[in-house]
Structure 1
Amino acid sequence: MNVTSETDFAAKTRALLDAHGDVFLQIAKNSIEQGLSAHGPLSPALDTLPPEMVETGACFVTLNKAGRLRGCIGSPEAWRPLATDVAENAFRAAFKDPRFAPLQSDEADQLDIHLSVLSPAEPFTFTDQADLIANLRVNEDGLIIEDQGRRALFLPSVWAQLPDPAQFLAHLKAKAGLGAGHWSDSFKAWRFIAAETGAAWRDIPAEKH
């Protein structure tokens, strides 16, 4: 993604979240509540939402409990209305993340919900691992890697925990099931940017959509 495209995406998506981020978070919360009561995600009433909320978009929903990860699921590529993607991924983050047991009702009010809206991923061109590491943009790039049939993604927010580019890549390789020192000629990477919003569960009004 060139600088102009990134700037346009960042401006448009920041404006979208500034205008409607609270509604997206309500959709996420309501979808989790529906999962607790009905064991399925919310289906947002798309015809009642502003057009920009139902444009095709890709998001990740991250749930934290007491400052620790409690679930994170998302869509690396845009393929359905963003409001629907938020609802589905919020439900999956709460109940389908294989790293965690399904969320229980007594945990809900301890959650923080974070939403990341992703730009289209662009191929990351590099000559070797050192070149890839040298060209990673700290606190800005999200990264997808793939090799030997294994694939993993880190959101830009992960830089807060892993601010060193070499460690960022090493941990992402571990997430993919590859060794920290793994490298091969078939190694591929893509990068993207994201706009984010979030709030504590108790601060998000429960409204129906």
Structure 2
Amino acid sequence: MEPLRVMVVDDHDNFRRGLEAMLTAADSVELVGTAADGRTAVEVALEQQPDVILMDLHMPRLNGVEATARIVQSSPHIGVLVLTMMEDEESVFAAIRAGARGYLLKGARRSEILRSIEAVSAGEVIFGPGIADRMMSYFRGVRLKPTSQTFPQLTERERIILGRIADGLENAEIARELGLSVKTVRNHVSNIFAKLQVAHRAQAVILAREAGLETPD
């Protein structure tokens, strides 16, 4: 099995070098690039086309959120895994909106970082323990539904399914509730993601909630 091609982006020299040493020592990954600012990160990422990028957020020239957005827009197959000290909700949601597939806090153990790299490369979305709790708290709450005025590009069925996604339901649960096959729901979800130009469920939920949702009567 070929090692995963990984890039490191961080403006703190010591921390970046520590990550580089860790990745170099791991058999499952290959370090293919580094950058100390967001603008260089975009240039190197588009040239090297890594499988996964470990991305800091607070950086000179171009912050990590904007760098992530530019990279994902040009090369959506690249998985961005944020690794930062910033744990406020605004930073987490901004990174996800930009297209990040994972969010870890600095201080994460070596095994957690490597496991997260593998997960992100496989198309999964992963959050560190503290971040996951924040996400679950955000996704829980009043049952909401998107309206035709909010998402005119979606069909009525797609808006219903998006509402169920916002409720935290998985495809199988949505299928049971709506009396559909899992394959049909999966196809609807793919169409929703394409129309909303999002890569995963967390991104879709944040977009839906921030775009405006109404509580059902």
More helix by share: 2
Is TM-score (shorter-chain normalized) higher than 0.5? no
Q: Which has the higher contact order (CA 8 A, sep 6+)?
A: 1
More strand by share: 1
- Which TM-score band applies after superposition, normalised by the shorter structure? under 0.3
Please report the TM-score for the alignment, with normalisation by the length of structure 2.
0.27
Please report the TM-score for the alignment, with normalisation by the length of structure 1.
0.28
